[in-house]
Amino acid sequence: MSLGGFLRDRRERLSPEPGLQGRRRTPGLRREEVATRAGVSVTWYTWLEQERGGPPSNEVLERLARALELDDAGREALFLLAQQRPPPLRSAPISPVTPALQRVIDGFATSPAIIKTPTWDVVAWNEAAVAVLGDYSVMPARERNVLRRLFDPENPRRAHPDWEHDARFAIAVFRMDVARAGDNTAAATLAAEMQASSADFRRLWAENGISNHWVGLKRFDHPLAGAFSLETSAFAVDGADGLSMIVFSPLAAADVRAVEVLLAERARAVAPTPLKARA
């Protein structure tokens, strides 16, 4: 679809203000009504529908998006058609974790999975994640943060043979997540806090690395399950602003068994203690 066609289509979907319906030869709003809503001249708006003149500015496109009552997808389509690029980033509240999304990660029986925000706060997890990565349910909300846990001096690094690589990669992805989220005071506050509290974070942050999520490998060395590896994959959650899903998938049968060992240990730890029979 062209920009002109998109504008006409969305204009014709709108209903006139009460009392202005009258007798209309075409459905929806008239061009002059959209122009008035957007604060632009009728002539210029007509040129847009006729695809004459240069591309409109960001400000005008934002006003057109409001005038045409576009949702986020419509706003993105408007910018792509007009400027061949997505709209500018804007801060948006983090979406809640829906029951349907929780069911998705619960379906990964032997693959730890978490849902995180752009500031790497973990807001949902499955049983395999609790068994392998830690029991988020008993942590204070502040400690359910991947970066805080990764750089916690009390978190034993011997369980993570590739700690330096994992830490460097986490910071590089964190930078990209924050950039995608737009102006984010919470992210700036977290970065400042981590630089002040951790020399390692300060050192790696100074490298200015930046990276997308990609399929990688995370190795573990657990005193109960031994050495095993999990493949990491990241997925954006459609319809949930700011949330992404990280899945840790076993690569081999031995890795599956290691996760099953930790799940069994977790089950024993939370099982109720049987009552002793009276003599």
> How many CB atoms within 10 Å of residue 47?
15
Percent of the chain with pLDDT over 70: 91
- 3-83 has CATH 1.10.260.40 classification: yes
Contacts of 255 (CB under 8 A, 6+ apart): 228, 229, 230
Residues 55-104: tens digit of each pLDDT: 889 999 999 999 999 988 899 899 999 998 888 766 667 788 999 999 99
DSSP string spanning 60-101? Answer: HHHHHHHHTT--HHHHHHHHHHHHSSPPPP---PPPPPPHHH
pLDDT number for residue 177:
78
Distance CA 42, CA 72 (A): 25
Query: Residue range 109-129: average pLDDT?
Result: 95
pLDDT number for residue 45:
94
> How many CB atoms within 10 Å of residue 270?
9
> Which of 198, 123, 207 has its CA nearest to residue 165?
207
Question: What is the H or E stretch that residue 219 is in?
Answer: strand 216-222
Per-residue pLDDT band for 279 (boundaries 50, 70, 90) equals very low
| Fold category of 99-270 in CATH | Beta-Lactamase (3.30.450)
Burial (Cβ within 10 Å: 0-12, 13-18, ≥19) of residue 150: buried
CA 233 to chain centre: 13
Residues 27-53: tens digit of each pLDDT: 789 999 999 999 999 999 999 999 887
> How many CB atoms within 10 Å of residue 154?
5
Distance CA 165, CA 205 (A): 13
DSSP string spanning 238-259? Answer: TTSTT-EEEEEEE-SHHHHHHH
Say which residue, 112 or 117, is predicted with more confidence. 112
Tokens of 58: 């960001």
| pLDDT at position 273 over 80 | no
Distance CA 116, CA 4 (A): 39
Is the sign of the CA dihedral 80, 82, 83, 87 positive or negative? negative
Pairing status of strand 244-250 against strand 226-236: antiparallel
Residues 130-169: tens digit of each pLDDT: 999 999 999 999 999 999 999 998 887 877 899 999 999 9
Question: What is the H or E stretch that residue 48 is in?
Answer: helix 42-49
The ranges assigned to domains in the chain are: 3-83, 99-270
